[in-house]
Structure 1
Amino acid sequence: MLRYFYKKKNQYLTIENGVIQKNNIYSSNTKIQINAITEIEKIGLDYRLKAEDINLRFDPNLIDEESLKKLIHFLGQLDLPSEKTSSANLIMNQ
């Protein structure tokens, strides 16, 4: 429960200097280089950004609506083949 409220209060995804970072309350922060993203995948209600050596999973329901729109637009601008984003098309079409 504490983790949910932490994520709800603190935007847990940030994009800076070519890196997407997920801030976690209990463990070290997870970072992924934007240019290393090879796939966007839907896993249940969450989404996963995949790179060769790291996966960053996030819950779009914990992101402020306006920030989520910006994130969707940003992810839509990535130069990924359509088959690498097909399972994530729902987030792109919100």
Structure 2
Amino acid sequence: MNIMTTQADSFEVEIESRFSWLPIRTGDYASDLAAGRNAGAELLKLAREADNPLLIKGALGQAIEAGEWAAFEIGFTYEISLAAM
């Protein structure tokens, strides 16, 4: 079984239908927002390379389940939304 792991500014996702939503918040809104955007861009890149949009679904599901919606999540979803336009 081949598992690829990538890190994008404190965000980790494993390609194999298993995800780890691990944002590290600095407490600085602008920094966390930028980190979330970077993580979103990295996940979009991975999803396109793997031809697997379910990677995005899985990450969003875990973000919601985590129950905290702060600057990192806002930046992440903003970046994902830009790709949909």
TM-score (norm 2): 0.40
Larger radius of gyration: 1
Q: Comparing both structures, which one devotes a greater share of its residues to helix?
A: 2
TM-score (norm 1): 0.37
Relative contact order higher in (CA < 8 Å, ≥ 6 apart): 2
Q: Comparing both structures, which one devotes a greater share of its residues to strand?
A: 1
